[in-house]
């Protein structure tokens, strides 16, 4: 069939337009946003093993290579009965404790797909990895660990921390894995487990609260006893220190005649000062005589002083 001259003119234009439309519909590049990673699915060979594209531009073959992007940021998933809770993965988890109690507890799990083996995760599990792998694993391990603790442990911060640590450990141990360079690598990384407020039955809640009150009361009594013991010790030490000071003062007075005189003079001066403050006549008079090697204090009664002063 021979094309007309007009057709020959418009044919290149049509091919160009078709190519532009193809590029717009199936571009040769794909952009992976920050916080994400992309695996490539080939229409003929399936997932391309070992190819995990980091954030940035990726060149692909239109119509053959299909990019599939995963959010690889850490996200906290909630197991709670609150229907509109963000990132809700299911209802609160029912547990049975070592003391035979049964109740529900909210559980929060911080996790992310392992970017290093994202291609394996997609080929073995797929984008619904939360439903198929994570949710059953979390429920199972939370129940297993809770069975080894009493219900009262949920009221004690330290024991809750121990339970959360054990839950995280066993979940990472039993998570689906693959082998990379001879090492076992988990497909999903569990980064933290956090237990919420347990939904205790009213009877159990009242019983545990009474135990907590009794425990706090006992601890308070113990603290008071320690304070009293320390106060008694302090007073004993102070008494011993005062006694020792008196002994040292007496020893020093015995060894030093001048110090004995000064102490005696201080006592006399106190009596004189007290009489003056009361508006009374001084009951005595102190005469200080300095010698070559000692000081002598003479205690002279006030009446005798007056009589001596009136004599010619």
Q: Do residues 188 and 133 lie in contact, with contact meaning Cβ atoms separated by under 8 Å?
A: yes
**Residue range 108-130: average pLDDT?**
95
Residues 33 and 146 in one domain: no
What was the pLDDT predicted at 303? 53
Which of 184, 200, 216 corresponds to the end of one domain? 200
Which residue range is the domain that position 57 belongs to? 23-69
- pLDDT greater at residue 179 or residue 5: 179
For 214-251, the pLDDT digits (tens) are: 444 545 555 555 666 776 777 777 777 777 776 766 66
Residue 13 pLDDT > 80: no
- pLDDT greater at residue 23 or residue 133: 133
Please list, in sequence order, all residues whose beta carbon lies within 8 angstroms of the beta carbon of residue 9, skipping any fewer than 6 positions away: none
Residues 268 and 301 in one domain: yes
Which of 39, 69, 99 corresponds to the end of one domain? 69
Residues 271 and 251 in one domain: no
- Residue 42 falls in which region: left (phi positive, over 0), alpha (psi -120 to 50) or beta: beta
Task: Name the DSSP letter for residue 153.
Answer: G
Q: Is the pTM of this model over 0.75?
A: no
Of the candidates 173, 171, 111, the residue with the CA atom closest to the CA atom of residue 143: 171
Cα–Cα distance list, 15 to 4, 9, 25 (Å)? 17, 11, 15
Residue 36 lies in a domain: yes
Nearest-10 crossing angle of helices 257-277, 202-255: 110
| Rounded-to-integer distance, Cα 44 and Cα 61, Å | 12
Name the CA radius of gyration of the chain, rounded: 46
User: Where does the chain have alpha helices with state H?
Assistant: 5-25, 118-124, 129, 135-146, 157-174, 202-255, 257-277, 302-310
Average model confidence (pLDDT) across the chain? 78
**Residue range 146-171: average pLDDT?**
91
């Amino acid at each position: 069939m021979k094309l007309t001259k007009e057709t020959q003119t418009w044919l290149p234009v049509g091919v160009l337009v078709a190519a532009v439309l193809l590029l717009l519909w199936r571009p040769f590049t794909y952009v992976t946003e920050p916080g994400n990673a992309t695996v490539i699915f080939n229409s003929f060979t399936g997932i391309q093993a070992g190819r995990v594209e980091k954030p940035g531009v990726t060149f692909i073959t239109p119509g053959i290579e299909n990019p599939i992007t995963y959010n690889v940021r850490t996200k906290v998933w909630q197991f709670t009965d609150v229907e509109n809770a963000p990132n809700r993965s299911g209802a609160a988890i029912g547990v049975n404790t070592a003391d035979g109690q049964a109740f529900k507890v909210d559980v929060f799990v911080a996790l992310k797909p392992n970017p290093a083996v994202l291609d394996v995760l997609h080929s073995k599990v797929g984008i619904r990895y939360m439903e198929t792998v994570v949710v059953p694993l979390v429920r199972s391990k939370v129940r297993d660990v809770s069975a080894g603790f009493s219900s009262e442990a949920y009221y004690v911060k330290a024991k809750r921390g121990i339970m959360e640590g054990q839950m995280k450990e066993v979940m990472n141990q039993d998570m689906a894995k693959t082998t990379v360079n001879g090492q076992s690598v988990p497909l999903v990384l569990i980064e933290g487990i956090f237990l919420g407020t347990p939904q205790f039955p009213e009877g159990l809640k009242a019983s545990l609260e009474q135990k907590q009150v009794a425990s706090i009361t006992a601890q308070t009594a113990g603290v008071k006893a320690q304070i009293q013991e320390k106060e008694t010790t302090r007073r004993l030490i102070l008494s011993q220190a005062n006694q020792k000071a008196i002994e040292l003062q007496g020893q020093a007075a015995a060894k030093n005649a001048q110090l004995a005189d000064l102490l005696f003079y201080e006592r006399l001066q106190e009596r004189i000062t007290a009489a003056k403050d009361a508006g009374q006549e001084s009951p005595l008079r102190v005469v200080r005589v300095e010698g070559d090697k000692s000081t002598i204090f003479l205690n002279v009664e006030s009446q005798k002083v007056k009589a001596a002063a009136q004599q010619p």
